A and B are shown apart, each in its own frame.
Chain A
Amino acid sequence: MESLLVTQAINVVYEVLILAVLVLGLAVVMGLLNVLNIAHGEFVMLGAYTAYTVQKAGFPYLAAVPAAAVVCGVIGLLVERFLIRPLRYDPFETLLATWGLGLLLRKLVELVFGRGFRSVDIPIGGSVSIFGEAYPTYRLVLMAIAVVVVVALFVWYARAATGARIRAMVGNPVLAEAVGIRTRQLARNTFVAGTAWAGIAGVMIAPLTPVEPFMGLTLIVNSFFALVVGGMGTVTGLFAGSTIIGGLQSVLSASVSPTTAYLAMLILSILFLWQRPRGLFPRP
């Protein structure tokens, strides 16, 4: 029984961290630029297919990380230039446009790879014993990377000059431009960083999920709810949202039933959208 609890506790942490990794790119783009990138899940999917291709070609799995960042970053760059910028970063118009973009990306991948499932081999096999319980190594490695990335982002955003510029741009774009911040470039870089990170997240989760053209659709659901609950534009919100949504899902799923867990998450998200649409820790 005790061993069961230990493993279930690790499962909860795992689910929270994986969700944080998936939400990250979406949170950056949505929270800082007010663009709800509906195609976020498709960028994750592209990352996963990049991982599949890299592995299939016989390269080491780590090579998929820069490859996916480049693939998704370049597509992000084109999307920013020809879709988001012409629509003046308008929240509603870009929402519709990225919805269409998602459709297009799914169909393109379907054309190249077909509709079937692809499997990506786990790059690091085996398991590690934690308090006498074996836990898959790859999942532990992912958890470690997730912690490092989220903490690094937190520190960077709070301290680095670019973080300060982004905060200035978000707070008052006109004034920011007046003091010499090149907001257009900054917004572009932020958007591209978001899509590139989504690609890397895709590489990270590819060995754990079914890789198929529609995988992004299911991935974006929880990510969106995590943003709603946590609040947009703050790293604290990102972490709080992932913890509440991922934790709730994982705990209820283990203790009651997976269907109840899903229902509870939907109800919670609806309550937040209704009563507190800015979430727990929104940008002030």
Chain B
Amino acid sequence: MFSSITTSRRSLLRAAGVGALAIGTPILRSAHAAGPMKIGVLIADSGPAALFGPAQRAAAELGAAAINAKGGILDRQVEIVFADAGAPPAEVSKSAVKLMLSDKVEMIFGSHDSAVRQGVENVVKGKIPYVYTPVFEGDDCTDNVYFLGEVPEQELQKTLPKLLEFAKGNTFYLVGDDYVWARTTNEKAKKYIAQIGGSVVAEDYYPFGAPNKFESTVTKIKSAKPAIVLQTLVGGDNVNFNRTFADFNLSDDIVRLSCLLEENTLMGIGKDASKNLYSALGYFADIDLPQNKAFIGELTNKYGDKAPQQCTISKGLYDAFVFAAAVSARSKSLAAKEFAMAAEGLSFDTPSGPMTMKRRHTEKNIFLSRCDGTKFTIVDTFTAVPTQQSCT
């Protein structure tokens, strides 16, 4: 009897609570609308890409500050909620759910690998705009996801023909890490290599995240004598391979093009191992554009000498804020349909120059750089390079 009374009291309380919530919701919603807009930003605080973490954080903070200074998004100031994307995909997906449900973020921006992206896409399910910023393999058309990074088609279509001017022939040796980005990039590369009349002599893939040694591949390269080594190695493997390559004295005769060689990795490769090494990316921290000067200027103002080294992986997060502000100024809403319509064909200005959103990927500048010591020298700039992606 006693228990039944408490039960009914509980259910009464619960009913009252639900009632209060139901009444309270409209009021809450309008209060919410006037308050800051929260944006979840996924960055590598841990894991193999953790070295980009501080630079990603800085770029995102600068991006938020820049658009807040111009009134924010939909007349609301934006507020960043960071989450770690360095964990396994299942863990990061949980963080994304938490961002949406308890932090109530209204957009997610992410700079992390593709496995994590697919995990996040599966839980976000197109409910809020998800802007994915780094270099990646392309061919993803998940609803309400926007891609700001370089796809292989952009990295290679214009740069490979140009690279032939520096090489002693048109034979290619492909070496990469054994995962989706490297393998897809190389498949696409083969098409462009065929177009310029070149041929692939061999390809090698190394397990991702394993303690790799590159002596055997370098020895094979020495014997195969290709004109160009096309690399899709990342991070430590990229450093390790290129140092081994130079130790075996191959850098005088063979030109190397890396599809993901940014400022930090080049520091690791070092001045003695970077001769005849090239990189094709959508951004380098030293590019001579007024937009970039302003961006690096803001960075130095805010962080001084401790400013983390920017690169294409981190700077994309700055672009994400610029992009989201530009789209919502046009769409007046973050609803999927309106956002998509406003995004298509929209141009916006970033530190690497103008970008145009087409089929949810961006046409943009691609820079071909030569390594001089531990610095990049731009040898050619290709403007508005199309993505060849077919999302609707």
Stretch binding the partner chain, chosen from B66-74, B97-105, B211-219? B211-219
Bound: A7/B247 CA distance, A: 14
Q: Which residues of B contact A172 (CB under 8 A)?
A: none
Contact with A along B183-215 (1 / 0, CB 8 A): 000000000000000000000111101111101
- CB distance B236 to A210 under 8 Å? yes
Q: Which chain A residues in 22-38 approach chain B with CB under 8 Å?
A: none
Bound: A264/B271 CA distance, A: 36
Bound: A120/B53 CA distance, A: 23
Q: Which residues of B contact A183 (CB under 8 A)?
A: none
A116: interface (CB < 8 Å): yes
Known: A134-B249, A210-B236. A257 touches B215 (CB 8 A): no
- Nearest-CB residue, chain B, relative to A255: B216
CB-contact partner of B212 in A118, A119, A258, under 8 A: A258
B272: interface (CB < 8 Å): yes
Q: Which residues of A contact B248 (CB under 8 A)?
A: 127, 134, 136
Q: Which residues of B contact A116 (CB under 8 A)?
A: 51, 264, 267-268, 309
- CB distance B219 to A8 under 8 Å? yes
Contact with B along A111-133 (1 / 0, CB 8 A): 00011111111100101000000
Known: A115-B50, A115-B53. A250 touches B216 (CB 8 A): yes
Known: A11-B216, A134-B249. A119 touches B210 (CB 8 A): no
Q: Which residues of B contact A207 (CB under 8 A)?
A: 243
Q: Which residues of B contact A189 (CB under 8 A)?
A: none
- Nearest-CB residue, chain A, relative to B44: A115
How many chain A residues touch B (Cβ–Cβ < 8 Å)? Answer: 44
Q: For residue A131, give the distance in angstroms from its CB to the closest CB of chain B.
A: 14
Q: Which residues of B contact A254 (CB under 8 A)?
A: 216, 219-220
- CB distance B268 to A117 under 8 Å? yes
Q: For residue A13, give the distance in angstroms from its CB to the closest CB of chain B.
A: 11
- CB distance A15 to B213 under 8 Å? yes
Q: For residue A115, give the distance in angstroms from its CB to the closest CB of chain B.
A: 4
B239: interface (CB < 8 Å): yes
- CB distance A4 to B220 under 8 Å? yes
Q: Which residues of B contact A121 (CB under 8 A)?
A: 270, 272
- CB distance A208 to B51 under 8 Å? no
Indicate the member of B207, B211, B223, B236 with the most A CB atoms within 10 Å: B211
- CB distance B219 to A215 under 8 Å? no
How many chain B residues touch A (Cβ–Cβ < 8 Å)? Answer: 42
Q: Which residues of B contact A214 (CB under 8 A)?
A: 48, 50
Bound: A208/B220 CA distance, A: 19
Contact with A along B217-231 (1 / 0, CB 8 A): 101101100000000
Q: Which residues of B contact A53 (CB under 8 A)?
A: none
Indicate the member of B53, B216, B249 with the most A CB atoms within 10 Å: B216
A212: interface (CB < 8 Å): yes
A3: interface (CB < 8 Å): yes
Q: Which residues of B contact A212 (CB under 8 A)?
A: 51, 236, 268
A221: interface (CB < 8 Å): yes
Q: For residue B233, give the distance in angstroms from its CB to the closest CB of chain A.
A: 11
Q: For residue A231, give the distance in angstroms from its CB to the closest CB of chain B.
A: 21
Q: For residue A107, give the distance in angstroms from its CB to the closest CB of chain B.
A: 11
Known: A116-B267, A116-B309, A122-B272. A209 touches B204 (CB 8 A): no
Q: Which residues of A contact B276 (CB under 8 A)?
A: none
Q: For residue B293, give the distance in angstroms from its CB to the closest CB of chain A.
A: 23
Bound: A117/B374 CA distance, A: 12
B269: interface (CB < 8 Å): yes
B240: interface (CB < 8 Å): yes
Minimum-distance CB pairs A-B, first 10: A117-B268, A119-B270, A254-B216, A210-B239, A115-B51, A218-B211, A11-B215, A262-B207, A210-B236, A4-B223
Residues of A within 8 A of B (CB): 1, 3-4, 7-8, 11, 14-15, 114-122, 125, 127, 134, 136, 138-139, 207-212, 214-215, 218-219, 221-222, 249-250, 253-254, 257-259, 262-263
18 residue pairs bridging A and B, Cβ less than 8 Å apart: A1-B223, A4-B222, A7-B219, A114-B54, A116-B51, A117-B236, A117-B268, A119-B269, A127-B248, A134-B249, A139-B247, A211-B268, A212-B236, A218-B211, A219-B211, A253-B216, A254-B220, A258-B217
